Structure formats: structure tokens, C-alpha cells
């Protein structure tokens, strides 16, 4: 019992376990040995303002939950974690996240609110995690009982010194991207993000929403993924090459093959490098993409690898103005900036772009890189690029970039026809300079 209490106090106070044990020993000495280890640990928890999740023989089973119950304690397994959602009610904004949890008697929906939503991420609550819940309440919705963690409720994740015997297993089979096909549900995958495209807004049946496309890759292939609504904000905070775990997604046919969609049942979580053995996105793209000669290229949806030498950097603007809300291009008018979707733009963002000519001995082709990939080639982040362009002129920067001529280069991207010149070009997902 004392070890379980010390673990909770250490977790909630952010203090090392050894420091808590020292406080427990000091408390026992103060009471001249009249306190047990558990009693001293309880008192230390109280001194630190910690509310304990108590290991109790009075825990309820899920099947015993009834509408109106208060102060309910349970031990459950997480079967699914949904995407957090924001809401506004009576002028007040909040956040909630729902989970499906179960024990050997059944399963139910658990909802955590506001600050507790953040704890799910901090404590890495995932499918398969075990939760010891204290002080929950029960309500019915559509004749089904649902569990909520109360304002003063507590949640201990994967508690030690407590038996998990009897809890159901949470199956979480991972699917390789090359195995994705149409009509699949509850898809779980590990991958790396290659590219994130700007978010866009839409309106359908008097309902507004947001959507964002991004490209992911694993050891077997790459696929275009789509995040909807609340998940757009989550994906927008990720970075290219980030390892991620996707749960509860579904597939559907797209214009460029099977796509992976992250709807209201899905979740995407950034992983640490220590949690994944997936090579970097650059390694994956270079090793898994089929190499082709420029002379035989045709417009296609599949990624290709071309390897050659940079002949020249093409004249260009080096960046263009975009809407900070939707990422679309903006028009400069006499009275200011205008986005076709969002209206007037007071302070536009920019998106770097660079075009260069590649020769592989069979032919030449223009390669175009955008965003972070363009920043890497230019050698400046977008803010410094904007400043340098204003101070020194874009033509000067282009001239200096001509020093790249003669450098070997590998480009991974899609061959497509330029809508203005009608010439074939490579839209680059990755550029590696030697």
C-alpha cells in the first residue's frame, strides 16, 4: 500500500520517488515510530496537497454502473482513445476527451474534462493502458450509462502493486501502409510525417469544418492522410519527420489512390524517437522510392526518385504570400490583401518556394520545392528569407544560389505538368544535396 501511495505522490507532485520516501521517513521519526509506512505516506500526500487514488475493495464493476451514481471507483483497461474536442457552452469554452474503457464485466464510455485532457497526453494514456479511477459519476445517454471523471476525481495510469488480472486485453494490431486498401476501419499505424499541407475550411449543410492533408511514410510505402476538424489543430503542431502513432482511422479511395482519414473516432499522437524504430522520413523516401530516368518520366501519382546534377537555379520570387488561416494564396489589391476563402488578410504569412533544373544525363527537368524543404535548400528560414529579400533583393539571393550549380542532388517527388508552361516538372517531397 505504501509503495502505491508513494508512486502517486511522486507522479502528481513531480518530485523524485526517493525524495518522497525521505519525507515519509522524516514523518515517521516525527511521530516516534507510531505511524505505519502507509500512514506516513498519507500524511505526506496531505502536506503536498495530493488527492490520492485509493486502492479499494469497494471498486465497482462496469456492469454495476447506474445513472446518478457518485464517487465511483473503478479499475479499467483503455480500449480506445478518441480525439480531444473543444466546445463552447453558455459563453464558456472547454475541452473534453472520450475513451472506451472496460473490465471483465463490460465496457463503457469515459469522459475527462478540461485540465484532465492534457493529463491523458502527459501520462501517455493509450489503447491498452490501465486506469485506476477515483471519484467518478455516472449519467445515462441514449439509455446507455456513461462515466465521467469529476472535478476532484483522480486517475492513476498503469498503477504499480495492483493486479490487472481479469481485465480484458486491448487488441491493437498495426497495419503497414502498403497493406492499406479501400473500406478499412479502425486502422492503427506507425509512420513518419513527410509533408504537411495547409489547412482549409469548408461549409456543408450549415456546418463549418476544417480539413488538412499530410503525407506519411513507413518502411513499406507512403500514403496521403487527411485530418478532420479538431484533429487539424493536432496535426498542425507536428513537424515533418515526426514519428507518429495513428489509431482508429479509416480508408477511402481518393484521386491519387487509397487515403487514410482521421475522423472523430481517430487519434494521432507524436512519439519520441526512443519509442519507434522507423528510420527517418528521408531514409525511407530515398530507400523505398523507385529510381527513374528523366527521359522516360510521365505525369503520375506515385513518388519517383531522380538522381542527377543541379544545372541552375531558376529565376523566381523565392516565396509567395499565403493566408495565415487556410494557407491559400492571397491576392494583392489596391486596398490590401484578399483571400478567396477567408476574405481580407491584414497580415499574410509566406511560403518559401524554389525551382531548380536537374540533369541526369538522359534529360533535364525542373524540380520545385516548397515550405520546409525550400527553406533547407535556400539555407534560410522563412522569416530570415523575407528579411533578406527585403534588404538585398530576391534577384541577389537567386544569383548567390547559383553556386549550387554542379552539385549532385537526389529528388523524391511526383512528376506533373506545370499548369502555366505545360512542361513536365517534379514537385519535390524531399531534396538531398550532396
Fill in the DSSP letter of residue 178: G
Q: Are 216 and 260 in contact (CB under 8 A)?
A: yes
Cα–Cα distances in angstroms (integers) from residue 109 to residues 80, 96, 148, 366, in the given order = 9, 12, 8, 53
pLDDT of residue 124: 84
DSSP lists the bridge partners of residue 154 as 134
Dihedral angle, C-alpha 148, 154, 160, 161, nearest 10 °? -90
Q: Are 149 and 112 in contact (CB under 8 A)?
A: yes
Fill in the DSSP letter of residue 118: H
DSSP lists the bridge partners of residue 425 as 366, 416
Those residues whose C-beta lies under 8 Å from the C-beta of residue 24, and which sit 6 or more positions away, are 2, 6, 37, 40, 41, 44
Per-residue pLDDT of the chain (434 residues; tens, 9 = 90+): 577 778 777 877 778 888 888 888 888 888 877 777 877 887 888 788 776 655 555 689 999 999 999 989 999 999 999 988 888 888 888 889 999 999 999 999 999 998 888 888 888 898 899 999 988 999 998 888 999 988 778 888 888 767 888 899 987 789 999 999 999 999 999 999 988 888 888 887 777 888 999 999 999 988 999 999 989 989 998 988 899 999 999 999 987 789 999 998 899 999 988 888 888 888 888 888 889 999 989 998 788 999 999 999 999 999 998 888 777 788 887 777 888 777 888 888 899 999 999 999 999 999 999 988 999 999 999 999 999 999 999 999 999 999 999 999 999 999 999 888 889 999 998 999 98
pLDDT of residue 154: 82
pLDDT of residue 213: 93
Q: How do beta strands 221-228 and 257-262 pair?
A: parallel
Q: Which of 104, 31, 13 is nearest to 63 (CA)?
A: 104
Fill in the DSSP letter of residue 62: G
pLDDT of residue 260: 97
DSSP lists the bridge partners of residue 312 as 357
pLDDT of residue 333: 79
Q: Which of 49, 36, 37 is nearest to 9 (CA)?
A: 49
- The C-alpha angle with vertex 121 and arms to 119 and 124, in degrees rounded to 5, equals 105
Cell of 406: 554542379
The answer to whether the pTM exceeds 0.85 is no
First to last CA, the chain: 60
Amino acid at each position: 500500500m505504501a509503495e502505491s501511495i508513494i508512486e502517486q505522490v511522486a507522479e502528481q507532485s513531480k518530485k523524485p520517488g526517493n525524495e518522497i520516501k525521505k519525507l515519509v521517513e522524516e514523518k515517521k521519526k516525527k511521530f516516534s515510530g507510531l505511524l505505519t509506512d502507509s500512514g506516513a505516506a498519507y500524511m505526506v500526500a496531505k502536506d503536498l496537497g495530493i488527492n490520492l487514488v485509493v486502492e479499494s475493495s469497494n471498486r465497482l464493476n462496469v456492469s454495476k454502473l447506474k445513472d446518478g451514481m457518485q464517487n465511483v471507483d473503478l479499475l479499467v483497461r483503455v480500449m480506445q482513445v478518441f480525439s480531444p474536442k473543444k466546445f463552447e457552452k453558455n459563453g464558456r469554452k472547454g475541452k473534453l476527451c472520450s475513451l472506451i474503457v472496460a473490465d471483465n464485466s463490460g465496457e463503457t464510455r469515459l469522459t475527462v474534462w478540461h485540465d484532465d485532457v492534457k493529463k491523458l497526453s502527459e501520462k501517455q494514456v493509450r489503447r491498452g493502458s490501465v486506469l485506476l479511477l477515483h471519484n467518478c459519476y455516472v449519467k445515462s445517454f441514449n439509455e446507455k450509462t456513461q462515466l465521467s471523471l469529476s472535478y476532484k476525481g483522480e486517475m492513476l495510469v498503469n498503477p504499480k502493486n495492483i493486479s490487472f488480472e481479469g481485465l480484458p486485453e486491448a487488441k491493437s494490431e498495426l497495419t503497414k501502409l502498403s497493406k492499406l486498401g479501400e473500406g478499412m476501419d479502425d486502422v492503427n499505424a506507425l509512420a513518419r510525417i513527410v509533408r504537411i499541407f495547409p489547412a482549409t475550411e469548408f461549409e456543408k449543410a450549415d456546418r463549418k469544418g476544417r480539413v488538412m492533408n499530410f503525407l506519411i511514410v513507413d518502411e513499406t510505402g507512403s500514403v496521403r492522410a487527411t485530418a478532420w476538424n479538431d484533429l487539424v489543430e493536432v496535426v498542425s503542431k507536428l513537424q515533418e519527420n515526426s514519428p507518429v502513432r495513428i489509431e482508429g482511422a479509416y480508408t477511402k479511395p481518393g484521386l491519387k489512390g487509397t487515403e487514410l482519414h482521421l475522423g472523430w473516432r481517430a487519434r494521432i499522437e507524436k512519439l519520441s524517437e526512443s519509442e519507434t524504430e522507423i528510420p527517418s522520413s528521408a531514409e525511407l523516401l530515398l530507400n523505398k522510392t523507385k529510381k527513374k530516368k528523366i527521359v522516360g518520366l510521365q505525369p503520375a501519382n506515385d513518388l519517383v526518385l531522380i538522381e542527377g546534377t543541379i544545372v541552375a537555379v531558376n529565376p523566381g520570387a523565392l516565396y509567395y504570400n499565403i493566408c495565415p488561416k487556410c494557407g491559400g494564396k492571397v491576392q494583392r489589391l489596391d486596398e490590401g490583401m484578399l483571400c478567396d476563402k477567408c476574405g481580407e488578410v491584414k497580415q499574410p504569412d509566406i511560403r518559401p518556394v524554389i525551382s531548380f533544373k536537374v540533369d541526369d544525363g538522359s534529360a533535364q527537368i525542373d524540380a520545385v520545392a516548397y515550405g520546409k524543404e525550400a527553406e533547407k535548400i535556400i539555407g534560410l528560414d522563412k522569416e530570415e528569407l523575407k528579411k533578406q529579400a527585403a534588404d538585398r533583393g530576391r534577384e541577389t539571393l537567386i544569383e548567390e544560389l547559383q553556386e549550387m550549380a554542379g552539385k549532385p542532388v537526389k529528388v523524391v517527388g511526383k512528376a506533373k505538368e506545370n499548369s502555366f508552361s505545360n512542361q513536365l516538372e517534379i514537385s519535390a517531397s524531399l531534396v538531398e544535396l550532396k
